[in-house]
Structure 1
Amino acid sequence: MAMITLQNSSMTEVTILSNTFIDNYMPEANGEFVKVYIYLLRSLSNAPVSFSLEQMADRLLCTERDILRALKYWAKQELLVLDFTDSDKLCGIALLSPDKHTENASSVSASVETVSTVEQPAIQAASAPSAAVEPSVPTGKASSDKKQELTPERIRELKQNEEIIQILYIAEQYLGKTLSPTESQKLLFFYDGLGLSADLIEYLLEYCVSHNHKSIRYIEKVAIAWAEEGITTVEQAKRSNSRYNKEYFTILKALGITNRNPVETEITLMDTWLKTYCFSMEIIQEACNRTVLQTGQASFQYTDKILEGWKKKEVKTLDDIRSLDDEHQKRRQSKKAASRKPAAPASNNRFNNFEQREYDFSEYEKHLLNQ
């Protein structure tokens, strides 16, 4: 049987950018980093290729330091692996598939050459990486200013944990997509850093998604709030959510808002009043009442200004508010009294200032008669 040869006369050059990269990696990345990654993908079409960091920087109109920062960023995202010499010089790059995250890497090849300006060797051929660069994951209790990093060994250990495997699978079902490395890191942080149980993390995902919040940042915010509140079980989380939901609607009612749920910006402000300022409901309701009286509408921003002022003045009770009102009234009255015009002073003209002479008219008459 004769073989048929299929030929294509229009060899259009294209660079394929994965949808997974666009959806999960590109939104959080610096624009310069994205440019470097796309350039590496473009270079694959001409593999094997030789180029140095200096040449790459010239082509992308940036510095070699910018190139290195971008490469290290994508290494942390597990989209590529960097190979270094014994003297800690970059000598190779291996690209990983964002869709599979396997160790079957596509390679960017380059011959060894020295960049004289910074003594940096050119990017050299790199086949399959021996070990992927593990992302850093914060650990420790919910304290943004004091987070430790998990070691690569700990990350690999966690990823072999049956509970973690189940959590990652459930998260993909709730979020309806393949998890990005950042999302996976956050889930590891909830489990190993915040100490949330697998059941609690599952309920966390269910709770956030049921309220139309699929952003990992929002989910992390709720997780940290639960950890700071000392919530360790699903039952405690449900009670906390029920309590705050009731308080949210009480505040909405005080502002005259009915028949709708609070939006995210409103929830953020109410959480500040309830959790950060630690105001009682009666104080918040008082601020809401004053807002409606002053503005004639439901203004969360106006209420927030009132409560922010009360927080600065260390208001704890309604009596504290009444005391502030009394002080304010006294200051107003003092200003009014000071603004009243005093009685007009005596005229300062020369006539009024002239010292009048006193005359004895009887003596004056006698004097005239004796003349």
Structure 2
Amino acid sequence: MSSILTIKDMRSASVTLVPDIFINEYMPEANGEFVKIYLYLLYVMHGRTAAISLSSIADAFSCTEKDVLRALKYWQKAGILKLEFDSERKLSGLSLLPLESASAAPASMETAVTVSGQESPAQQEEPGSPQPPKYLSPGAIRQLQKENPDIGQLLFLAEQYLKKTLSATDMQRILYFYDELHFPLDLVEYLIEYCVSQNHRSLSYIEKVGLAWHQENVHTVDAAKQRTNTWSRDYYAILKAFGIRGRDPIATEVEFMNRWMKEYGFSLDIIKEACSRTISQTAKPSFKYAEGILSNWRQNNVKSPSDIDGLDQQHQKRVKASEKGAETKSKAANKFNNFHQREYDYEKLEKQLLNQ
């Protein structure tokens, strides 16, 4: 058994106060560099420095301005920070929000810091990039649990499925489906149960599946079960076409198959044909090789097996034309050798030359 440590406070009077709730609920799940940035902002609030900018913060921690902005955006998403921008969409300031109820902090309770010199995150993001999920703050989660006892039951069941104690961030990610995407609680439970049944306990994986359901307007348990049953049959049909039996698809294979069926919109017949051609060419199952075939078919607007036959016929014509062209070039190259070559008596020629 380890001995008890005695801690003495011998610091000077000049200290930076860190809220206990930050240490207990926010800090454990955050990147260490992000924690440093937030602590530095608390330090700045005590007037230790006259002015700050993204560049000065970056210099203080030997990182880039983008790293600093990434940390600020993380704390804004966590609900304890609010970024402000001027008319030119440059980052001009930020507000430290109360940690207890970040989602409803009144303006009078905000503590502001002026920051200069960076474009807004909206300008930096690429067009069409997905917006980050809007997670509930820890305070909002506690309030939600008070209002609806079933929330606590859902989180308890989630811990049993995932075989771990949920962190504050875990709760945020699970309740995102209920609060933001308006999934019924029984659907959120089924989502977790289904992913665990597929040997996936990662919340990142669960989040991807849930977002896919939302995009497909799956908002009831019955609809989810119908979808998962259909897609499971399709997965195993594709594995069988590859000659793979006796195991479940792995995550990367699922990503390929989802792309073929959802993004490319191919039927099982077309996908199976690509699998068959893959085996013929490589003598082994290769999802990457099949991806090349299906990607090409997609570019050529293939919709049915007859479209594939049409592409094959065009390919054969090109091959024949190429072979005919090569044969023509070969004949032209050999034309010089097609004349009747004379036969010479080299011994007679040699005697004639010697007698001259």
Please state which band the TM-score falls in when normalised by the shorter chain: 0.5 to 0.7
3-state SS, counterpart of residue 30 of structure 2: helix
Greater Rg by CA:
1
Q: Is the Cα contact below 8 Å between 2:81 and 2:94 reproduced in 1?
A: no
Match for residue 311 of structure 1 among 298, 301, 315: 298
Which residue number corresponds to residue 24 of structure 1?
Answer: 29
Alpha-carbon contact 1:158-1:188 (below 8 Å) kept: no
Structure 1 window deviating more from structure 2 (183-192 vs 304-313): it is 183-192
Tell me what 1:179 maps to: 167
1:205 corresponds, among 192, 197, 202, to 192
Q: Which moved more, 1:288-297 or 1:313-322?
A: 313-322
Asked if the contact 2:101/2:140 (under 8 Å) is kept, the reply is: no
User: Residue type matched to 1:256 in 2?
Assistant: G
Q: Aligned partners of 1:309 and 1:63: how far apart in 2?
A: 41
Residue in 2 aligned with 1:321? 308
The separation in 2 between residues aligned to 1:323 and 1:63, in whole angstroms, is 54
For structure 1, which runs of at least 5 residues remain unmatched after alignment? 1-5, 104-113, 119-142, 348-371
**CA-to-aligned-CA distance 1:75-94 (integer Å, 9 cap, x gap):** 5425x568x9xxxx979969
For 1:291, give the aligned amino acid: T
Q: Pick closer, same or farther for the CA change 1:148–1:64 going to 2, 3 Å.
A: closer
Normalised TM-score (structure 2): 0.63
Could you list the per-position Cα deviations for residues 182-205 of structure 1 after superposition, in whole angstroms to 9, with x for gaps in the alignment? x44433432243332111111001
Within a 5 Å distance, the mapping from 1:1-371 to structure 2 comes to: 24-26=29-31, 32-37=33-38, 50=48, 54=52, 57=57, 59-61=60-62, 70=71, 73-74=74-75, 76-78=77-79, 145=130, 158=144, 160-162=146-148, 163-175=150-162, 176-181=164-169, 183-340=170-327, 341-343=330-332
Measured after TM superposition, the shift of residue 73 of structure 1 is: 3.4
TM-score when scaled to structure 1? 0.61
Q: Which amino acid in 2 is paired with 1:254? A: A
Aligned length: 288
Q: Report the RMSD for the aligned CA atoms in angstroms.
A: 4.7
Q: Secondary structure at the match of 1:213?
A: coil
- Deviation readout 1:93-123 (Å, 9 max, x if unpaired): 6996xxxx799xxxxxxxxxx99x97xxxxx
Tell me the distance in 2 between the aligned counterparts of 1:215 and 1:270: 20
The answer to which structure has the higher helix fraction is 2
Distance (Å, rounded) in 1 between the aligned partners of 2:312 and 2:48: 76
Q: How far apart are the structure 2 equivalents of 1:65 and 1:313?
A: 41
Cα distance in structure 2, aligned partners of 1:8 and 1:193: 44
CA contact under 8 A between 2:181 and 2:214: conserved in structure 1? yes
Q: 2:204 is aligned with what amino acid?
A: R
More displaced stretch, 162-171 vs 300-309: 162-171
Q: Percent identity of the aligned residues?
A: 39
Q: C-alpha separation between the residues in 1 aligned to 2:95 and 2:223?
A: 51
